[in-house]
């Protein structure tokens, strides 16, 4: 069974990059009939906030990305302690006493010599007495995972193909701080083991973490899940963008973007498949395939999202949208204004043309006479607009813009807008007549 997870740290709102990762993991599981776990990475007690946990749940619910279960790292600290002790006993975790400044200095020296800033394992050279002296002086150690230097780390990446790391070129990662708190690396691996995660899909900023974590899985005698790393999302200029980091569901919602537009875009952005306004999730799932993902950064452009959103709104059936419409809009009302809107929220603006009051322009005298004639001519039928305009064309000799524009202006107060043939029946006979008469005065 395929088990995937989305593991946000609740230190802020989800941004579009996180949403993409969540979506793809959900899709992998959904497509395989597997399980999708929401894992809250909240070991950092100082930075994690309950309001963000809530916001993550709300955002995923709004997107329609439902987790099969939720896990929290803060409730699993005992488990990490056990794994930590086992790995320590097996000689895979060691204490280190360097201060931040010492480490920084070591880095600078290496970089100054043009060497990669790899931790020199100085802590492993300490004698028992030296360690005891540190402890006696009240210096608590932080803890590092000892990488096995003997063999290259290799995996078949679902997006990047064969990935290979020389462990000697990696620093032994710090996994636990001196105050006992956890860094990301070990808890995540323990969780992936315990929760039976079979597939880890995340951003390529995690590639070197994967190399380390593969060694952790092996050190814990656990099966290594399959890994895939997606190219990062960049702004339309092709650069990592700060703005994308603050672009999330709240912003999209406010802009009137439909969740389905976000899904349609993000499920295909950065793949070889065309980005289309597809609202049928079955189609998106069917065509979702890691082998279509490219290695070049995926460019996120708001204009694409707006375009897809508009297309989706234009195709939305009344039933799907009616709860969100002004109360008195029926099927015909939705149909009349639908082609004129880019977001569902814009309906209200156009609907005011029907319900009024409207503000009419001041008309020239000949138009006033024309509109008075229109008020007298108006007859109600299935299609009052065609009847009215045909009759007026005949009686006044007007055509084109001079025939239609004063009528539209008198009836809606606007120079453009929804199809008058659809709008006039919605305005109704009495109100339409009153508007024409008012314009003629
Ligand atoms: N909490 C980590 C992050 O947000 C999870 C990374 C992972 O998927 O393992 O980057």
Percent of the chain whose pLDDT exceeds 70: 100
Domain of residue 383, CATH code: 1.10.10.350
**Ligand 1 mean position to 7 CA, how many Å?**
5
Task: Tell me the CA distances in angstroms from 155 to 103, 170, 214, 363, 379, one per residue in order.
Answer: 30, 16, 9, 75, 77
317, pLDDT greater than 90? yes
What is the model's pLDDT at position 240?
A: 78
pLDDT at 423 over 90: yes
Residue 41 Cβ inside 6 Å of ligand 1? The answer reads yes
Question: Is residue 246 included in any domain, yes or no?
Answer: no
**369 lies in some domain:** yes
Q: Is 76 in the pocket of ligand 1 (CB under 6 A)?
A: no
CA of 6 to the centre of ligand 1 (A): 8
Query: According to the model, what pLDDT value does residue 243 have?
Result: 85
Q: How confident is the model at residue 359 (pLDDT cuts 50, 70, 90)?
A: very high
Ligand 1 contact, 18 CB (< 6 A): no
Domain of residue 142, CATH code: 3.90.800.10
Burial string for 88-123 (b: 16+ CB within 10 Å, else e) reads eeeebbbbbbbeeeebeebeeeeeeeeeeeebeeeb
Residue 316: what pLDDT? Answer: 96
Burial class (CB in 10 A: 0-12, 13-18, 19+), 398: buried
Distance CA 312, CA 342 (A): 9
pTM more than 0.85 = yes
Task: Encode pLDDT of 396-422 as tens digits.
Answer: 999 999 999 999 999 999 999 999 999
**What is the percent of the chain where pLDDT is above 90?**
97
The residue among 176, 210, 237 that closes a domain is 176
- Identify whether 381 is part of a domain: yes
* Cβ-proximal residues to 430 (8 Å cutoff; 6+ apart), any chain: none
CB of 188 sitting under 6 A from ligand 1: yes
Q: At 238, is the pLDDT very low, low, confident or very high (cuts 50, 70, 90)?
A: confident
Mark the binding-site residues, compressed into ranges: 242
Mean pLDDT throughout 140-148? 98
Q: Is residue 276 part of a domain?
A: no
CA distances from 214 to 39, 156, 219, 375 (A): 19, 12, 9, 80
Give the C-alpha separation, 421 to 336, whole Å: 9
Domain that holds residue 380: 355-440
Among candidate residues 47, 71, 10, 52, the one with its CA nearest the CA of residue 181: 47
Backbone angles phi, psi at 269, to 5 degrees: -60, 130
CB distance 408 to 417 below 8 Å: yes
What is the residue with the minimal CA distance to atom 10 of ligand 1? 8
Q: Predicted confidence band at 197 (pLDDT cuts at 50, 70, 90)?
A: very high
pLDDT, position 98? 95
pLDDT at 298 over 90: yes
For the chain, what is the domain count? 2
Q: Whose CA is nearest to atom 7 of ligand 1?
A: 7
Split at pLDDT 50, 70, 90, the class of 246 is confident
pLDDT of residue 295: 94
Element (H, E) at 40: strand 35-40
Determine if ligand 1 sits within 6 Å of the CB of residue 9.
yes
Instruction: Indicate the top mutation candidate among 40, 74, 191, 206 to test ligand 1's pocket, ranked by most ligand atoms within 8 A of CB.
Output: 206
* Placement of tokens 């070591």 in the chain: 106
Q: What is the mean pLDDT of the chain?
A: 96
């Amino acid at each position: 069974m395929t088990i995937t997870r989305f593991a946000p740290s609740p230190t802020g709102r989800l941004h579009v990059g996180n949403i993409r990762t969540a979506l793809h993991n959900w899709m992998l599981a959904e497509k395989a009939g597997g399980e999708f776990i929401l894992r809250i990475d909240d070991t950092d007690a100082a930075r994690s906030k309950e309001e963000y946990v809530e916001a993550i749940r709300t955002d995923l619910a709004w997107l329609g990305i439902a987790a099969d279960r939720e896990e929290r790292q803060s409730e699993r600290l005992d488990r990490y302690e056990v794994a930590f002790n086992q790995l320590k006993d097996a000689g895979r975790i060691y204490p280190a006493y360097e201060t931040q400044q010492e480490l920084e200095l070591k880095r600078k020296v290496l970089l100054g010599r043009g060497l990669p800033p790899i931790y020199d394992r100085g802590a492993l050279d300490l004698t028992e007495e030296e360690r005891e002296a540190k402890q006696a002086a009240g210096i608590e150690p932080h803890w590092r995972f000892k990488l096995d230097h003997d063999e290259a780390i290799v995996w078949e990446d679902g997006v990047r193909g064969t990935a290979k790391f020389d462990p000697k070129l990696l620093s032994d990662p710090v996994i636990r701080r001196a105050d006992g708190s956890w860094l990301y690396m070990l808890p995540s691996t323990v969780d992936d083991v315990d929760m039976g995660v079979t597939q880890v899909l995340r951003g390529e900023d995690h590639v070197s973490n994967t190399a380390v974590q593969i060694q952790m899985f092996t050190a814990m005698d656990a099966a290594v899940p399959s890994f895939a790393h997606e190219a990062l999302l960049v702004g339309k200029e092709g650069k990592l963008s700060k703005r994308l980091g603050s672009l999330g569901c709240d912003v999209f919602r406010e802009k009137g973007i439909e969740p389905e537009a976000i899904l349609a875009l993000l499920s295909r952005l950065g793949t070889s498949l065309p980005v289309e306004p597809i609202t049928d999730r079955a189609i998106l799932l069917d065509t979702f395939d890691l082998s279509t993902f490219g290695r070049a950064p995926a460019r996120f452009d708001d204009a694409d999202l707006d375009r897809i959103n508009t297309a989706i709104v234009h195709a939305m059936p009344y039933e799907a949208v009616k709860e969100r419409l002004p109360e008195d809009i029926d099927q015909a009302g939705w149909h009349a204004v639908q082609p004129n809107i880019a977001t569902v929220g814009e309906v209200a603006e156009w609907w005011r043309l029907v319900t009024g009051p409207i503000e009419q322009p001041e008309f020239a005298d000949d138009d006033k006479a024309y509109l008075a004639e229109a008020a007298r001519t108006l007859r109600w039928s299935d299609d009052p607009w065609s009847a009215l305009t045909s009759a007026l064309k005949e009686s006044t000799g007007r055509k084109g813009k001079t025939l239609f524009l004063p009528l539209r202006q008198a009836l809606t107060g606007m120079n453009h807008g929804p199809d008058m043939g659809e709008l006039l029946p919605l305005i109704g006979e009495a109100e339409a007549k009153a508007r024409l008469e008012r314009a003629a005065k």
